[in-house]
Structure 1
Amino acid sequence: MEKLLTLFQDATQAGLRDIATALDRFSQGVADEIARAKPRAIAAAEDDEAFPLDVALFDSAPTVAVPKHAQFAPLLDVGHRFLMTAEGVFVEVRRPWLHVIQQLAKHSETGPRPPYGVVTPKIELAFGRLGVALPFVQAFAEEAQSALPNEHAAWMVWDKEKQALTYKPLHVSSTSPDEIKFDRPVLEPHESLAIDLHSHGAAPAYFSPKDDKDDAGEVKISAVLGGLGDGGTPSVAFRLCVLGMVIPLKVPVSAVFKVPEPA
């Protein structure tokens, strides 16, 4: 009886292993079939040995058609994609604190146009309005005054768990009246850079070529404070940086500094 029981158990285990192997093969086959069926508008032969590289690029930043009849479904995951519309090419970017849709290029007035729909440009902040950040900017302005004659820097980080902005001081490795260097902090998975602050000391607030280089390719609000110190004329400059595109943001000086009223 024991021998029969052992044979039965061995046969059962072998059968279970065969079933498991078959299920694995079936699952992999389904996954492969879905991957092959996924539309990718790439003008290349799929048997080209370099085709997988283009597939990876396409998947990281796809181009999609905006529907003319159905409802437009916005990007939900963190990342970006390009939108082909009847009016032109748009870029859509999603970050935990930001959803932005902006036009990159217009179609020719006389040339052919894709038979697609249209999309409305938008800039949507998870924290509502930029005014929510102004108390932190005001606190930074006081720190920047104390750092004179040198430049100063700090970050404002969006905490997805708390659904709030937090102020993050930076470790400055070197600073002078013309330049500042700091270590980029390592953020937690639920944190993301939202506002990058730095000062120009007594010099006016503006975005220098170095600022342009530092901001290229990033998604953040960049802010500069200037005209600090006794006798200076305070000034501010704000812009939204979107992967090389910059969108000026209007922030009055009086929202950051207490500007004395004329006598």
Structure 2
Amino acid sequence: MEQLLNAFQNATQAGLQNIAAALDQFSKGVAEEIARAKPRAIAASEDDEQLPLDVALFDSAPTVAVPKHAKFVALQEIGHRFLMTAEGVFVEVRRPWAHIIQRLDWTRDSTAKSTGPIPPYGTVEEKVEFAFGRLGSALQELQAFAAEARAALPNEYAAWIIWDAQKQKLQYRPLPATSATPGSITFDRPALAEHESLAIDLHSHGDSAAFFSPTDDADDAGEVKIAGVFGGLGAGSEPDVAFRLCVLGMFIPLKVPAAAIFKQPQEA
């Protein structure tokens, strides 16, 4: 009887070990399948019927980011991929006899005809769209700033126009200066509620011309906003303005006629 009991216990233990091994293998298989099914970084809806074609293209020549802090690991398999870097797009090619990394010509000069590989992706049109419509929607706020900037002469003046996402409207907000002179102004950035964001950043140059200085370039770098400068505000001067869209260090000029803001009274 004791021998039978020992045999049963040994068989049971061996069975449990086999089950555990099978479960472990199953878990690894599921994890690998999930990793293979992980969606690619493609800007498309997951239920788009054409997405598998783009996935196949992506897998044939993927795009990867080159790390800024971690060590770059070169392509090991035979094939090629595109490298996104701080200096443009590079192509990396691996063959049994060569390993090549080269910057793509068209990332240096957008007007140059490409003679090298092109990432197998689609194209997109440039776009600038504001939730409040055209910049002219802020005319009332811009005129309010012009009046207050003139009142602050000879010193510079500053104000923000805030986008209120709850009310879906622009709101004018003067910025009390901590220091203001005819050539500079400093202020503490106001705290904004979660539903508020800076849309238009305004400052004046007093009676001087409207332009963006190197200091303005440094202040605007890294921000997403519309920046505006008002100048020629003194008596007898011709008012002028300068506007640009700031996009993380890229500046896009915006045409805003000063006459639309500084309306002259009609002659009788």
* TM-score in same-fold range (> 0.5): yes
Tell me, yes or no, if structure 1 residue 129 matches structure 2 residue 134.
yes
Tell me, yes or no, if structure 1 residue 203 matches structure 2 residue 208.
yes
Give the one of 93, 96, 110 matched to 1:106. Answer: 110
| Whole-angstrom distance in 1 between the partners of 2:249 and 2:152 | 30
SS of 2:142's equivalent in the other structure is helix
CA positional deviation for 1:34: 6.2
Residues 181/145 of structure 1: CA separation in 2 closer, same or farther (3 Å cut): same
**Gaps in structure 1 of 5+ consecutive residues:** 1-25, 53-57, 64-87, 90-103
Residues 256/43 of structure 1: CA separation in 2 closer, same or farther (3 Å cut): closer
CA positional deviation for 1:44: 7.1
| Whole-angstrom distance in 2 between the partners of 1:117 and 1:210 | 38
Give the one of 206, 226, 237 matched to 1:232. Answer: 237
Give the one of 156, 161, 168 matched to 2:161. Answer: 156
Q: Provide Cα deviations, 1:101-130, integer angstroms capped at 9, x if missing partner.
A: xxx962740422223222111100000110
SS of 2:228's equivalent in the other structure is strand
Equivalent AA in structure 1 for residue 219 of structure 2: D
Who wins on radius of gyration, i.e. which is larger? 2
| Whole-angstrom distance in 1 between the partners of 2:174 and 2:234 | 21
Give the one of 150, 153, 177 matched to 2:182. Answer: 177
Equivalent AA in structure 1 for residue 228 of structure 2: A
CA positional deviation for 1:233: 1.2
Identity, % of aligned pairs? Answer: 55
Q: TM-score, normalised by structure 2?
A: 0.61
| Whole-angstrom distance in 1 between the partners of 2:131 and 2:66 | 39
Q: State the partner residue of 1:251.
A: 256
How much is the aligned-residue C-alpha RMSD, in angstroms? 3.6
| Whole-angstrom distance in 2 between the partners of 1:107 and 1:38 | 34
Residues 244/174 of structure 1: CA separation in 2 closer, same or farther (3 Å cut): same
Q: State the partner residue of 1:80.
A: none
Q: State the partner residue of 1:144.
A: 149
| Whole-angstrom distance in 1 between the partners of 2:201 and 2:65 | 39
Q: State the partner residue of 2:64.
A: 42
| Whole-angstrom distance in 2 between the partners of 1:239 and 1:35 | 45
Equivalent AA in structure 1 for residue 124 of structure 2: V
SS of 2:210's equivalent in the other structure is coil
| Whole-angstrom distance in 2 between the partners of 1:43 and 1:176 | 46
SS of 2:217's equivalent in the other structure is helix
| Whole-angstrom distance in 1 between the partners of 2:169 and 2:65 | 44
Matched residue pairs, number?
188
Equivalent AA in structure 1 for residue 64 of structure 2: I
Q: Provide Cα deviations, 1:194-245, integer angstroms capped at 9, x if missing partner.
A: 0000000000111111111111111000000000121111101011011111
SS of 1:162's equivalent in the other structure is coil
Mapping of 1:37-116 within 5 angstroms?
37=38, 39=40, 41-42=63-64, 50=70, 106=110, 108-112=112-116, 113-116=118-121
